[in-house]
Amino acid sequence: MTTTIFPVILSNGEQVFAVPGGSLGAQQLTIACTTYPSAGTALIEYRSPGNTAWQTAYKGAATALTVERVMYVGDVASQFRVTLEGVVGGAGATFAVSDLATAVPPGAWEGTRGLIVQPYTEANVKNGMQYYLRAAWPLTDVIPTTESRKVWVKTGTQKVLVKLRDLQFVAEELRLELFRAPVTVTGGIDLTIQNYNSINPVVTTTVAKKNVTTVSDGVPFDAGDPEYFYGAAASPQRVAASIPQGRERVIPPNTEFIVKITNTGSGSARVQYFLDWFEGEPDLPT
């Protein structure tokens, strides 16, 4: 593997780097800093020999570079361009371009050789960027019939990709509704946001509370189409996985939303709401 290191000046504007020899084939791009920016956006682009059009390899918050960020370009590239806007702070930035052609077994890029891969969630956990929270109303704090409980979540500087929602309950019937941009959120109990990685966790920018009150819940997701969960009046049951596997919700940065759980059954409800998400810039446009 051949690697070329380019020093990046952490100031606003464009910086263009030419690959020695004209092109490297398939690329692995790595950008890292000794001190990371606290604000701003970064755009990393590449273009092929003889092609004037720039292709995007990475676009997002400069603060997302708080871990060594790796990107891939399965194309021939002769030039790279880094554009920074609104960057605050940071030092010691380097941009490394590595030739993967000699490191990857023959046939891998053409799809004629088997490869061992891992799902996004596994990679996110290893990178310290997969998070979860629980909000529970157990036997000592049941939800009476006809009453609602609300979970408030506010994203920070990063995009949030919701990977999994589980609703576990002992109840006859529950209604679950999602809202964005609630009005006048007050009260509530802080929820602890957990990181699956205890070795190199990235600090979350998301905060959450349960049992909040609102003047208005806000704008409903899915055009106000609620989800219902059914147990049985005589023998309530536990149910989970309210979003099919493989589906994600993409939540923009600096956004508030409400999860509203209403007991529409005939008796009290015991409920646990579990939320699991990736926080950062995805490798595909959102």
Residue 254: predicted pLDDT? 94
155 and 272 co-located in one domain: yes
> How far is it, in rounded angstroms, from Cα 273 to Cα 261?
9
Question: What's the CA angle centered on 96, arms 90 and 101, to 5 degrees?
Answer: 160
Residue 160: predicted pLDDT? 94
133 and 59 co-located in one domain: no
178 and 214 co-located in one domain: yes
Q: Which residues of the chain have a pLDDT value below 70?
A: 1, 20-27, 64-76, 99-110, 232-246, 285-286
Residue ending a domain, among 67, 90, 117, is 117
Residue 286: predicted pLDDT? 64
186 and 270 co-located in one domain: yes
111 and 249 co-located in one domain: no
51 and 174 co-located in one domain: no
150: containing domain: 125-279
pLDDT tens-digit series, residues 243-259 = 556 678 899 999 999 99
Residue 64: predicted pLDDT? 60
- In the three-class reduction of DSSP (H, G, I as helix; E, B as strand; rest coil), residue 171 is classed as strand
235 and 106 co-located in one domain: no
Number of H helices, E strands in the chain: 1, 22
101 and 141 co-located in one domain: no
Number of separate domains in the chain: 2
51 and 139 co-located in one domain: no
109 and 178 co-located in one domain: no
- In the three-class reduction of DSSP (H, G, I as helix; E, B as strand; rest coil), residue 222 is classed as helix
Residue whose C-alpha is closest to residue 243's, from 153, 166, 186:
166
Residue 37: predicted pLDDT? 83
β-bridge pairing 227-230 and 173-180 = antiparallel
140 and 251 co-located in one domain: yes
User: What CATH number is given to the structural domain containing 58?
Assistant: 2.60.120.260
> How far is it, in rounded angstroms, from Cα 54 to Cα 77?
10
Residue ending a domain, among 82, 117, 152, is 117
Please name every residue paired with 160 in a beta bridge, in sequence order, or none if there are none.
251, 279
- In the three-class reduction of DSSP (H, G, I as helix; E, B as strand; rest coil), residue 69 is classed as strand
